[in-house]
């Protein structure tokens, strides 16, 4: 997927859930050239399968 540099709203598609607050925004911005990806210092917390 290719996204333009801007802010996007993401929300739950289940009826009524967006109005209950199941939404957020993400901002996409270009990465600097010649960067080295960072390595996490600790493992992510356990998830629930989503």
Query: What is the pLDDT, as a whole number, of residue 39?
Result: 67
Query: What is the pLDDT, as a whole number, of residue 2?
Result: 82
Query: Domain spans of the chain?
Result: 1-28
- Here the tokens at position 22 are 């199941």
Per-residue pLDDT of the chain (50 residues; tens, 9 = 90+): 788 899 999 999 999 999 999 999 999 988 766 666 666 667 666 776 55
Three state DSSP letters for 1-50: CCCCCCEEEEECCCCCCCCCCCEEEEECCCCCCCCCCCCCCCCCCCCCCC
Q: Is the pTM of this model over 0.85?
A: no
């Amino acid at each position: 997927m290719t996204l333009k540099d801007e802010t996007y709203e993401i929300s739950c598609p289940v009826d009524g859930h967006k109005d209950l607050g199941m939404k957020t925004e993400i901002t996409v911005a270009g990465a600097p050239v010649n960067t080295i990806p960072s390595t996490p210092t600790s493992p992510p917390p356990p998830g629930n399968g989503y």
